[in-house]
Amino acid sequence: MTIDKSLKRKGRLARTRNVLKRAERVVVLKEEDRFTEGQSPIGLPKVRVVRSAVGKKKKKEKKEEEGAAAAGKGAAPAKGGGKK
């Protein structure tokens, strides 16, 4: 049985999850040197999920790119550089 289109969420997989799977927790613990190879994967300690803020930085970058693209094409003359 399939899910109706109205019930699907557009950015479902894009957001960060609060809970990691066991394998993902093991990878994070290995990076932090808190897990050894012989250790049991059952009863793992909690792992903090780091969320990254992306919203405002992208807007600034877009504006800078648009300004650079307009300047590169010569869309508008510089101040005082018009016809006399």
Query: pLDDT tens-digit profile of 24-70?
Result: 999 999 999 999 989 898 999 989 887 766 556 556 666 666 766 66
Burial class of residue 27 in the structure, from the number of CB atoms within 10 Å of its CB (0-12 exposed, 13-18 middle, 19+ buried): middle
Residue 43 is part of which domain span? 17-69
Q: State the pLDDT at residue 77.
A: 57
Q: 10 in a domain, yes or no?
A: no
Nearest to 47 by CA among 27, 66, 70: 27
Number of structural domains in the chain: 1
Token pair recorded at residue 70: 């307009």
Q: 1 in a domain, yes or no?
A: no
Predicted TM-score of the model (pTM): 0.45
Q: 82 in a domain, yes or no?
A: no
Q: 12 in a domain, yes or no?
A: no
pLDDT at 72 over 60: yes
pLDDT at 82 over 80: no
- Using CA atoms, how far residue 37 sits from 32, 33, 41, in Å, is 13, 11, 9
Q: 8 in a domain, yes or no?
A: no
Q: 27 in a domain, yes or no?
A: yes
